[in-house]
Chains A and B, each alone.
Chain A
């Protein structure tokens, strides 16, 4: 072999980066493949005025039909949709948002960092739906404790069982009057709120927090532009023995061997790779139980009346926070299971679309409400269901000849009812704070758009109904691991990255020990 690695890691984002970080410091040599090129922030990024862009900030029309996050500034960081196609039933569109760069989506993530709780890990025990995770909160807590300082998570401790506290950079910043009023309104409705919990620092990515330390051990080699085509197995043992990959630019094919293969290529890419390899699917569950989180963006848009006039005084507006899940904890809703949360923020000017005006009247209104906006976005739990699934579409291949995914996910009654409830609660919270409700709605974004796709390669104690065990090791092949969000059994309404990192760290410890004892 040209390389002396033992572990082959596919993907360099949150999960792949964490596995490399943990294994290399234990002296295990790793080879990492990433499908994309490596970013050089000095060379690839510059400051520009929007009027110097060819499409004046509109972006090239039709370039990203499924990436609402793409702007003309950042268009070049998203995976090209024509080179990387996928299919769905036109009646159920799926918005698959991908970043194919070393560091993956951690280069650009929103950084929200919430722990899951036993309301998620033991969800079935609580309300009878779905399945429990093969881990409990207490199993994962020590790893959350280690991940939060690495990612410099800021936050405020609240002592809430549904949103466990962590090791935070304590956020004791004062709230604006608008936020105080909103928080008081929530308190009157017995709905908990807290500060945002976010990874801080100029960059909070695999490329600055995980990969540099791993590389410094001398035990990691990263190959960029290496698109995994298929995981191969040894015919006599059935164990994974390497990976076929293709160079993104030249399209030359390669094969590289390994003692252990760890897949962290993102929820849907990892699932696609396993399906294309025909592996780890004795359960028939591979590809199934795909879910994400509902997002109702700008579920309510308000005006803080006292801030009208164009220049709100200092301290009146600004800042924001988070409404913690409160539904279906002690009591039970009739129309839906599980719960939702909100992000809220004060400041900015409402979008002109919300005013039924034009011309001079619109301009006056915009000037009057400058800085006076208050907005909320809802994030809600999606129930994992067998019928929401991905499969290989053999009729369509990507630019490298690899068969693509057909994605079938749609929201059901539970999600629609949850969104409706969230809208009325959001309005009530804002009215209780004395805000003018300018617009509200309950329209969820299409599945996938939250970029919180989860499941499809789920963990479980039972090999007949799940793909991975509690250490993200495939039930079928003991030297094959899948460490990203595809392993989730359920997702709550919390942003998943912190849990992805904690799980990958825990699995890495297990893997290192298994390798040490030669069990793998």
Chain B
């Protein structure tokens, strides 16, 4: 086994481990001490100060996803809607990191959203009102089943509904708005660092 750093230093200076420990009883109480605590510098995460830069979906796909998110989870009372918490940009990132199956589900689903909007109204999904979107989103009115719908477009809508919901309630903005009303807002949890040694 390689020697640990502290052990190595101790062996170099030839003192036993216990002697290396501070001995408070022996120290003169009036002697100023050197601070032994090292500073812990508070830092923030990128998401707190900047918006995500979408790189995966095309502009038209992203616009459709943003509109879909707004319709699926609009602002409600003091709770912000999906459109206000950057859900489309976040999902662009998440889907870009996901296995190909999820990426295809989203790409094909967004294409179908726009195709349906064009067929019915001659415009993209991003330009639809919530009322106009209703027949397009009809599959979301079907009762829940364990395996979900077999139709890929219906599967996309079901996935988007869950993902938009999670991405919204797990956002910083939602937590800030809801922390007084919902105890679990902000999802405070025990996070485990990588455990290596």
Task: List the interface of chain A (C-beta within 8 A of B).
Answer: 36-37, 39, 43-58, 60-62, 71, 73-77, 101, 225, 247, 249-250, 352-360, 362-363, 367, 439, 441, 443
Contacts and interface: CB of A to CB of B under 8 A. Distances in A.
B143 A356 contact: yes
Interface string B161-194: 1110111001110010000000000111111111
Central interface residue in B1, B71, B79, B144, by most chain A CB within 10 Å: B144
A441 B195 CA distance: 38
A354 B191 contact: no
A384 to B, nearest CB: 27
Interface in B132-178: 137, 140-147, 158, 161-163, 165-167, 170-172, 175
A363 B142 contact: no
Given A51-B47, A51-B170, A51-B172, A57 B187 contact: yes
Nearest to A72: B191
B192 A77 contact: yes
- The size bracket of the interface on B is 35 or more
B188 A48 contact: yes
12 contacts: A44-B192, A47-B189, A49-B172, A50-B186, A51-B47, A51-B171, A51-B172, A61-B102, A73-B189, A76-B192, A357-B140, A362-B73
Contacts of A39: 195
B98 A358 contact: no
Contacts of B1: 247
A439 B144 CA distance: 7
Contact of B194 (A76, A250, A355, A367): A76
Interface of B: 1-2, 45, 47-48, 71-74, 76, 79, 90, 94, 97-99, 102, 130, 137, 140-147, 158, 161-163, 165-167, 170-172, 175, 186-197
A386 B137 CA distance: 49
B191 A45 contact: yes
Contacts of B142: 356
Contacts of B140: 356-358
B138 to A, nearest CB: 10
A356 B144 contact: yes
A-B CB proximity, top 6 nearest = A50-B187, A61-B98, A441-B146, A48-B191, A51-B172, A57-B170
Nearest to A354: B144
A73 B170 contact: no
Contact of B97 (A49, A61, A75, A363): A61
A47 B192 contact: no
Given A353-B144, A358-B71, A441-B145, A50 B76 contact: no
Nearest to A352: B165
Contact of A359 (B72, B99, B166): B72
Contact of A45 (B2, B141, B165, B190): B190
A51 B99 contact: no
Contact of B186 (A37, A51, A74, A358): A51
A76 B102 contact: no
Interface of A is mostly: loop
B94 A61 contact: yes
A394 B79 CA distance: 55
A312 to B, nearest CB: 15
Given A45-B191, A363-B76, A443 B146 contact: yes
A47 B73 contact: no
A225 B72 CA distance: 48
Contact of A51 (B79, B98, B175): B175
A357 B71 CA distance: 11
Contacts of B130: 359
A49 B175 contact: yes
A352 B162 contact: yes
Nearest to B145: A441
Nearest to B189: A73
Nearest to A65: B99
B76 A52 contact: no
Which among A36, A358, A443 has the highest number of chain B CB atoms within 10 Å? A358
A54 to B, nearest CB: 8
A241 B190 CA distance: 43
Contacts of A74: 190, 192
A73 B189 CA distance: 7
Contact of B170 (A50, A250, A355): A50
B94 to A, nearest CB: 6
Contact of B188 (A49, A56, A353): A49
A339 to B, nearest CB: 23
Query: Most chain-B Cβ atoms within 10 A of its Cβ — which of A43, A49, A77?
Result: A49
Contact of A56 (B90, B102, B190, B196): B90
A53 B188 CA distance: 11
Nearest to B96: A61
A250 B196 CA distance: 12
A47 B195 contact: no
Contacts of A51: 47, 170-172, 175, 186-187
